[in-house]
Structure 1
Amino acid sequence: MDHKSYTTSMTSGKSANDVYLAIKNIPGWWTENYEGKTGKIGDEFTVTFGDTFIHLQLKEQLVNHKLMWEVTGGHKHFLENPKEWVGTSIQFDIANIDNEKTEITFTHHGLAAPLECYDICTTSWHGYLHGSLKKLIETGEGNADKKE
């Protein structure tokens, strides 16, 4: 087990392509406060949550199988070290199971105790992934944070 990362998994009855496209639809499941691009390796984007913002860069992309974003900058206003996420990476692995289900494994590499935001960030990830992203995959409509 990797104790230097937060990992969670879920399954869906939708195809790997449906899952992949939903993950790439950041304003559909994470936050509508999104600027930038995620089409090709090296593309950068920013997500904003009130006074908190996170800059990310697309580092790996294997259509219908994997996405990885590196946190290149940001400011988490509620932390003593507001740049705590810088240098971490966010990875989605997508796998077909028996041609009937798709498994999504999410790993935030570097998000581990004793980081100050570990508890609140893992709770937030759980809500975004198992709530909003899952809903977007299954119904076409997620519960992303609304545009400010």
Structure 2
Amino acid sequence: MKKNNFNSSISAKITAEEAIKKISKVTEWWGVAFSGSSEKQNDKFVVKMGGDSFFNFTVAELIPGKRIVWLITDCHMPWYADKKEWANTRLIFEAHENNGVTELNFTHDGLTPDVECYKDCAPGWTHWIQTSLLSYFTTGQGIFKQNTAPAV
């Protein structure tokens, strides 16, 4: 049975190599507190979304111009019953360039409709990928104000 992981795609007139590099500049497009490094394979970083929440990441895979995989090694999501819901899930960014346009496919492997945070996280990711990251790709600035999506 296939898991129905959250997925979002965008296209921008940017090289795939530049797109992958820009994704690693987390604070430029994802409105979170960030510490550590996310630019090389095996780098480790921490994201905080307020209060005592945290998400520990490892850059599990990095293929320049093609793919980044971030593994969430630990987390604390105080606003949900399962405070470790994102632990051992993966954020996968895959870039495919064609004629100067790169399509970026984002998958949160493990974020499925049957988990508690999906109702909040899916609209949040939609904003961060389709609005903020796309804006960062095309204008050099992310969009941090969300009109309807919660702060994933």
Separation (CA, whole Å) in 1 of partners of 2:49 and 2:92: 20
> In structure 2, do the counterparts of structure 1 residues 32 and 84 end up closer, same or farther at CA, with 3 Å as the change threshold?
closer
Q: Deviations over 1:72-94 (max 9, x none)?
A: 01111110011100010000000
Separation (CA, whole Å) in 1 of partners of 2:121 and 2:33: 18
Partner residue, 2:90: 89
Of all paired residues, the percent bearing the same amino acid is 28
SS at match of 2:3: coil
Pairing of 1:41-80 with structure 2 (within 5 A): 41-51=41-51, 52-80=53-81
* Gap regions ≥5 residues in structure 1: none
Pairing of 1:114-129 with structure 2 (within 5 A): 114-129=114-129
1:17 paired to 2:17: yes
Aligned residues: 144
SS at match of 1:85: coil
- The CA deviation at 1:32 is 4.8
Q: TM-score, normalised by structure 2?
A: 0.89
Q: Which amino acid aligns with 1:78?
A: W
* Gap regions ≥5 residues in structure 2: 146-152
SS at match of 2:74: strand
Partner residue, 2:105: 105
1:35 paired to 2:35: yes
Structure 1, 56-65 or 3-12: larger mean CA deviation: 3-12
Runs of 4+ in 1 over 4 A off after TM superposition: none
Superposition RMSD in Å: 1.6
SS at match of 1:78: coil
**Structure having greater relative contact order (Cα 8 Å, sep ≥ 6):** 1
